[in-house]
Structure 1
Amino acid sequence: MSSPQKIDGSTLTGVSETALMTLQVRASEARRPDGIIEDPVAGELVDRIDFDFAKFGYSRRPDMAMRALAFDRATLAYLRDHPEATVVALAEGLQTSFYRISASDVGTRCRWLTVDLPPMIEVRSKLLPPADRVSVCAQSALDYSWMDQVDATKGVFITAEGLLMYLQPEESLGLIAECAKRFPGGRMMFDSPPALFARLVGRGMRTSLRYRVPPMPFTLSASQAARLVDTIPGIRQVHDVESPATRSRVLNAIMRTAQRFSLFDPVRPAMTLLEFG
């Protein structure tokens, strides 16, 4: 039996290319015997994409898996109370969240809406088989017409994993505000890099000689995110989401300490969960 035809990954450029990097890092972690995440689909996708992943540099690190786990846990917590909710994955890229969520005992009845740019949707459609519970909007997350495709009657959980940092501040805050306005009772989760890291990226940071990280004009620390409840109508509560544990006890202790004191906000990534009311 012949192997499936490989899909050309070089069609993804700019910020969209980062989806290949996060996929590779997540798959690398999942393939470890002591990996912190179960993500067999990620490994399958890496094997099916024709691309020189070495371009991105070192990939044996747990950060992308930790982020994915945090988003999974928040999504599943919402689905336990709203099992038929719609999960909206903004700029989903090559995330495989749907398959991990569907493998759980509470992720089998939710609806899923993928929102991403046409080139990314084309690659996803070639790699992943269509699923009855998944709908697709081939457009920017900033084109708010995707909101018209969401059935909010049974709940809405919106993920913006690896998205907002690549937008301008007014675009990111505008997207959050529109989601809060349109989906009362729903939730939204997003992540943000440390301000110090974003500044390094802005100066041309490279992960290898062949790859320069795209600019990250938007950052929002945990203490800054906490103030959204006072500045954006419709936000009822803001939660600073704890990062999942790694294999390193020392790193786990450092992360717990950093999350406890706002002094460390400029140097630690933040994951924020919003409740809309």
Structure 2
Amino acid sequence: MTGKHTVDLTGVSETALMTLLVRAKEARRPDGILDDPMAIHLVDSIDYDFAKFGWAKRQDMALRALVFDKHTRRYLVDHPRATVVALAEGLQTSFYRLDASDVLGSHEFRWLTVDLPPMIELRRALLPTCDRVRMCAQSALDFSWMDQVDADDGVFITAEGLLMYLQPEEALSLITECAARFPGGQMMFDLPPSGLAVLSRRGVRTSRRYRVPPMPFTLSVAEAADLVNTIPGVRAVHDVPSEPGRGAVLNALLWTVQRIPVLDPVRPVITLLEFG
């Protein structure tokens, strides 16, 4: 493993390596649903026992990335000089995928990564620099990162793979503060299926050697929709459907669970908030 960067991440931060692996494996496929060369670069640059996560074929993290990319891109088309704030970004490579998009024209959008110091250090060591990208080495729950955001041209906040690991009061406080500080902005987050909350709170095992950390925060589809009534400044709530995956059976399942309300408890929640 000579020449590779050794990483020593634990707890929730270690999940960044798992999601990275899923995206990179998908991007390597000739029929992959996600074009993510930077994810491949990161996996190839890191000295880590990725096999501990298990090798089951899965598309979930790639599908999640596609959904977040789609709605971030939509906002940037309307607000080309906006700031995207990626909370607890981990080893996501969203900026590089969006920056490669022809849809965004002049590419004037700016990016702020907010994450804990060890993750920021890793990103600085392994990812290319860009004068439109800034990094803030602190917890997303330390709201002083908001002082670094110039909201004049719009703000799009992503909490991809974050809120589920927070305590409920922490997650709701973060949403509340974002709504108060960034009127006209948007925020997007994802949560595990509400019907699997008991399992999520214990931590899901992906292999004999790895268990995902407990996820104490969940919302049902209805509870997420009700944020428009319970959090001041939330103007609209959108239940975001999954993007199409690979395979007719998977796509039939995705289509079905998104459209039959009785199945809401067994599908992940992806929510887009508009602040006003």
TM-score, normalised to structure 1, is 0.96
Asked if the contact 2:36/2:93 (under 8 Å) is kept, the reply is yes
2:4 maps to 6
2:26 is the alignment partner of 1:29: yes
The 1:233–1:204 alpha-carbon spacing in structure 2 relative to 1, beyond 3 Å, is: closer
Pick which of 245-254 and 206-215 moved more. 245-254
Q: Partner amino acid for 2:65?
A: A
Pick which of 93-102 and 222-231 moved more. 222-231
Q: Give the counterpart of 1:62 among 50, 59, 67.
A: 59
1:261 maps to 260
Asked if the contact 1:25/1:59 (under 8 Å) is kept, the reply is no
1:153 maps to 152
Asked if the contact 2:115/2:140 (under 8 Å) is kept, the reply is yes
2:210 maps to 211
1:81 maps to 78
Asked if the contact 2:202/2:215 (under 8 Å) is kept, the reply is no
| Structure 1 ranges of 4+ moved more than 4 A | none
Asked if the contact 1:190/1:273 (under 8 Å) is kept, the reply is yes
Asked if the contact 1:87/1:110 (under 8 Å) is kept, the reply is yes
Asked if the contact 2:204/2:214 (under 8 Å) is kept, the reply is no
Pairwise CA distance, 1:263: 1.4
TM-score, normalised to structure 2, is 0.96
Structure 1 Cα separation of the partners of residues 148 and 232 of structure 2 = 23
Structure 2 Cα separation of the partners of residues 188 and 232 of structure 1 = 13
Structure 2 Cα separation of the partners of residues 19 and 42 of structure 1 = 11
Deviations 1:225-269 (A, max 9, x none): 110000001011100111010112222122222112321122110
2:141 maps to 142
Q: Partner amino acid for 2:164?
A: M
Pairwise CA distance, 1:204: 4.6
Pick which of 57-66 and 158-167 moved more. 57-66
2:116 maps to 117
Structure 2 Cα separation of the partners of residues 184 and 44 of structure 1 = 37
Aligned residue for 2:241, secondary structure, equals: coil
Aligned residue for 1:154, secondary structure, equals: coil
The 1:8–1:59 alpha-carbon spacing in structure 2 relative to 1, beyond 3 Å, is: farther
Deviations 1:25-61 (A, max 9, x none): 0000011000001000100100000001000012531
Q: Partner amino acid for 1:199?
A: V
Runs of at least 5 residues in structure 1 that lack an aligned partner in the other structure: none
Pairwise CA distance, 1:4: 8.3
Aligned residue for 1:236, secondary structure, equals: strand
1:52 maps to 49
Q: Partner amino acid for 2:147?
A: D
